[in-house]
Amino acid sequence: MLQVITPEEVLRLIRESFTPLSGLEETVGLDRALGRVLARDICAGEYVPGFDRSTVDGYAVRAADTFGCGEAVPAVLALAGQVAMGRGGGDALAPGSCRGIPTGGALPPGADCAVMAEYTEDYGDGTVGVLRPGAPGQNVIFRGDDVYPGKRVFRRGRRLAPQDIGALAAMGVVRVPVARRLRIGVLSTGDELVPPEAAPGPGQVRDVNRPMLCALLEGEGIQAVDWGIAADDETMLLQTVERALRDCDGLWISGGSSVGQKDALCRVLETVGEVLFHGVAMKPGKPALLARAGDKPLAGLPGHPAAAYFVARLFLLPLLDRLQGRERAGWTVTARLRENVGANHGRAQYTCVRLEREGGTVWARPLRSKSGLITTLAEADGYFCIDRDCEGMSRGTAVEVTVWTGERCHGL
Amino acid sequence: MLQVITPEEVLRLIRESFTPLSGLEETVGLDRALGRVLARDICAGEYVPGFDRSTVDGYAVRAADTFGCGEAVPAVLALAGQVAMGRGGGDALAPGSCRGIPTGGALPPGADCAVMAEYTEDYGDGTVGVLRPGAPGQNVIFRGDDVYPGKRVFRRGRRLAPQDIGALAAMGVVRVPVARRLRIGVLSTGDELVPPEAAPGPGQVRDVNRPMLCALLEGEGIQAVDWGIAADDETMLLQTVERALRDCDGLWISGGSSVGQKDALCRVLETVGEVLFHGVAMKPGKPALLARAGDKPLAGLPGHPAAAYFVARLFLLPLLDRLQGRERAGWTVTARLRENVGANHGRAQYTCVRLEREGGTVWARPLRSKSGLITTLAEADGYFCIDRDCEGMSRGTAVEVTVWTGERCHGL
């Protein structure tokens, strides 16, 4: 029997046993930075925008010159030229005058406000009537409103999204310090496995975990190194593990689900490193195993694809986040259970669900499946967890559903 | 003034004006299929698993042979060998006998149940005692439980996630029919723009939209083709647009936010195609423009980065989904407003928020910002919408927050 620990203890053990890798930084161009993890805080070195800008098409004015005006008594201002896009605001604006300005144009010195063209009238004689009073700062973005020197715009550990690429462009950060992409070896074990392209013979099944886990890693921006299928031979497994460990930052080994195979993998991992735990009080996923060789993690995942998937998502991705110093935000969708769900006492149970919107309510329909079915994962929108000390949940209960995010990933 | 339409009308117009592109299919290997969009339904051609499998380590039995047994009166069965992993189940199991079986092993013909080793005793004399009765089907995954010939496992239009890669591997689908990656040209206009790597002079700003929109496309698995910055010259703009249109499946043109520039872009798009709408009753994002040249979309986006981002997310990504036949699932996080939020009557208002978890409640803190600030997007976790006929929402109101998904993407 396994000496099992809880999912919370697994995460605590990971935090305590692994630290962000040093020497992991590299610099990439802005056009290669999407999805990469910032290796340093990004502080602005300049003002964005670098000058006061109008947000409307109209006239730059001194607001005080327009106080008290109206449709009946326009403020009549001397027209002092036109601001061109991409040029400065020109000479200082004298009191009692205005200057034409396009959206995004630079405010002239002395001006503190832009009035919309709709609320003005060009008399054609070198004067413009302003029909509504302006206020200082109105329709203006001031220099540094977005960013100023020294402002910390991003913290290290952030995975860069498209809008972040925009913010870096605005600051002129075109060489981006990011964590090197981790290399994780993926290996399957089991005499019953054949590669997905092969036709299984009697008693054989295709290797599902290796392509699935490689895809999961790639979707996270991590390089998966495919080490193939290892036969159930302890000596050969040890050799493969040692070789993979020299090449990679860590290793995910799935399969070996029978007792003898599990013991063999455990012995191999004890040979090359220190076993941190073996067995988690969860369903699916009980026979998970984690070891450490120096600062490299070696994980043993269950052979059942659904169990392997949950172990990878719940523990191994957070572990890789830890190595990269990555901060991950996760939000859940609140949904109401369509059906009663029972649970095994003593184990955290992760139940796959389909989400169904009906009017204003989101319903979670539990997908019942035998252990090991892979299509259940593919049919689901996500999962929720029933705590180990809960005996089940009744229809209508609100649950917090973690939605798969894999759909959002892409492999080039 | 623009003839504006509502966001709902925009989406309806897109559905009516564009259809999935034909001739878009290609075949990729399973290891390149993550994040790609299925071009066809995937139906299984065989059974998964291909044989009845045990889910436990123990003995394959005929359940009827164990009925009525218990700790005190074990069912004593003749041990008829051992099933090896990756082999068939062997000869038919005679009544009154059992065969050792590992997790994942093939059930012998005649057996209908597997009993766990924990509930048995090997007497060492060629017999095994079963201490708990089994039931037909217990601890067994039957042939075809996961997939059977003809079962439609995936619909066309699905973007493939890691667990989908696993399901395809299980079925032996290693050549995957997917929609060709779209090529979308991205172009910025505006005399005030300089590339992100340049130092802006007086009245100049760095081009934020082009790198941001390219990253948004890449994160969606779409190839962004960078057409640079076009000067505000109508003839040259027309030439660039015509050239880009020959090369790409569509074009995103941002900037040109002043009235004269907007008019110039509109005339160019009228020259090469048919303008579908100009102006949306939304904030930010009002000056959006969509045209069609044959089956290729030509979009004019606002110059302000935040406005360009919302227009792209809300309308242009769904438009590209439509061209690819992609089905997109979107779920929201229910959160309570931290503060009152006012709204402009008559325009749908998209407000960026930070999410903050406090006990069991998720709070949405609105980020107030002037139009055009790019860091507001980067600071936010997502956004919610205030309908056009709503004057504002008060603190504590539950809102549905769409969380950015870009964080989940990655560019290799």
pLDDT in tens, A39-60: 999 999 999 999 999 999 999 9
In Å, how far is B369's CA from the nearest CA of chain A?
Answer: 9
Measure the CA–CA gap between B273 and B255, rounded to whole angstroms.
19
Phi, psi (rounded to 5 degrees) for B281: -75, 75
- Please identify, in words, the CATH class of the domain defined by B25-46+153-179: alpha beta
Q: Cis omega (within 30 of 0) on the bond before B49?
A: yes
- The pLDDT assigned to B408 comes to 31
Residues of B with Cβ-Cβ distance to A165 under 8 angstroms: 211-212, 214-215
Residue A320: how many CB atoms within 10 A of its CB?
24
At residue B370, the pLDDT reads: 67
A383 at B interface, C-beta within 8 A: no
Superfamily per CATH, domain B7-21+182-324:
MoaB/Mog-like domain (3.40.980.10)
A262-291 per-position pLDDT tens digit: 778 999 999 999 999 999 999 888 889 999
Asked if residues A247 and A183 have their Cβ atoms less than 8 Å apart, the reply is yes
Enclosing H/E stretch for B333: strand B333-337
Torsion of CA A204, A206, A209, A212, to 10 degrees: -170
- A373 vs B146, B208, B219: nearest CB: B146
**Quick one: CATH architecture of B53-141?**
Beta Complex (2.170)
Q: Tokens 């996961």, residue?
A: B146
CATH 2.40.340.10 domain range(s) in chain A: 333-408
Going by C-alpha positions, the residue among B45, B140, B32 that lies closest to residue A206 is: B45
Touching check for B214 and chain A: CB below 8 Å? yes
| Interchain contact, B373 vs A215, CB within 8 Å | no
Question: What's A25-48+146-179's CATH class?
Answer: alpha beta
Which pLDDT value is given to residue B257? 61
> Considering only alpha carbons, which residue of chain A is nearest residue B138?
A370
**Contact assessment for residue B94 and residue B39, using Cβ atoms and an 8 Å cutoff:** no
Q: What is the CATH number of domain A333-408?
A: 2.40.340.10
pLDDT of residue A405: 63
B317 touches chain A (CB under 8 A): no
Q: Are strands A392-393 and A341-342 parallel, antiparallel or unpaired?
A: antiparallel
Where does CATH 3.90.105.10 sit in chain A? Answer: 25-48+146-179
Residue A152 in contact with partner chain B when CB distance is under 8 A:
no
Contact B93, B83 (CB under 8 A): no
List where CATH 3.40.980.10 sits in chain A. Answer: 7-17+182-324
Q: Chain A contacts of B36, Cβ < 8 Å? A: 410-411
What is the predicted ipTM?
0.92
CB contacts under 8 A, B 217-236 vs A, are 218-221, 226, 232
Is it true that domain A7-17+182-324 has CATH number 3.40.980.10? yes
Interface residue A81 vs chain B (CB under 8 A): no
pLDDT of residue A398: 93
Would strands B289-293 and B274-278 be described as parallel, antiparallel, or unpaired? antiparallel
Residues A365-398: tens digit of each pLDDT: 999 776 667 888 888 989 999 998 888 899 999 9
Span(s) in chain A for CATH 2.170.190.11: 53-141
Q: Where are the beta strands (DSSP E) in B218-273?
A: 223-230, 250-255
Chain B CB contacts of A101 below 8 Å = none
Residue A405: partners with Cβ closer than 8 Å, 6 or more residues away: B405, B408
Strands (E), B23-164: 25-29, 42-43, 53-54, 58-61, 75-82, 97-101, 113-116, 120-122, 127-130, 140-141, 152-154
CA distances from A349 to A352, A383, B290, B316, B346 (A): 10, 10, 49, 40, 48
Q: What is the DSSP letter of B264?
A: H
Using DSSP, state whether B308 is helix, strand or coil: helix
Low-confidence ranges of chain A (pLDDT < 50): 1, 406-412
Return the structure tokens found at B408. Answer: 């989940």
B141 contacts A373? CB cut-off 8 A: yes
Are A327 and A317 in contact, with CB atoms under 8 Å apart? no
Unique residue bearing structure tokens 């080793």: B117
B372 touches chain A (CB under 8 A): yes
Give A254→chain B minimum CA distance, Å: 13
Test mutation, B34, B142, B216, chain A, max A CBs within 10 A: B34
* Nearest in space to A241 (alpha carbons), one of A279, A284, A298: A298
Q: CA-CA distance, A86 to A90, in Å (whole number)?
A: 11
Q: Provide the strand spans (E) within B30-144.
A: 42-43, 53-54, 58-61, 75-82, 97-101, 113-116, 120-122, 127-130, 140-141
Residues of chain B with pLDDT under 70: 1-2, 257-259, 370-372, 405-412
- Give the integer Cα–Cα distance in Å for B159 and B169: 16
State residue A236 phi and psi, 5-degree precision.
Answer: -70, -35
CB contact under 8 A, B203 and A146: no
Region of residue B236 (phi > 0: left; psi between -120 and 50: alpha; otherwise: beta) = alpha
Q: How far is B223 from chain A (nearest CA, A)?
A: 9
Query: How does DSSP classify residue A1?
Result: -
